[in-house]
Amino acid sequence: MKPRQRKPGFGETNSGAVMGAVVGSIGGLFAVGIVPTIVYKNIAYLFGTPILALISWLSSIITGWLIGGQIGPRIGMRFNSQRAESIAGGVGGLIPIIVILLWSWYMTTRR
């Protein structure tokens, strides 16, 4: 019988949370401008909304930390691997980026 494993606390520091914050911050900085850049084929749209990019960056760091910090340790305990925890945390950091990209797609293409 396996011993009962501790669930990660909300906002707790672990490698999954760090990876989620890193992935979220890098992707969140460019998530708002990537869709208009592709749709209109103009690189200037990538940096055209600096305030929205800053808001996206901050929200992606926070939510990437929280989601990666919850998903990462659970996957790491399941596979008994630190590497699996880091990868799962990074995948958790992709979730806010995908949400922001979908919002940006909706806002860009609804005209």
pLDDT of residue 4: 54
Residues 20/68, Cβ–Cβ less than 8 Å: yes
pLDDT value for 61: 96
pLDDT at 1: 42
Would you state the pLDDT for residue 83? 95
Q: From CA 53, how far away is CA 9, in angstroms rounded?
A: 29
Q: Is 105 helix (H, G, I), strand (E, B) or coil?
A: helix
- Numbers of helices and strands, H then E, in the chain: 3, 0
Please report, in tens digits, the pLDDT of each residue of the chain (111 residues total).
454 566 787 878 899 999 999 999 999 999 999 999 999 999 999 999 999 999 999 999 999 999 999 999 999 999 999 999 999 999 999 999 999 999 999 999 986
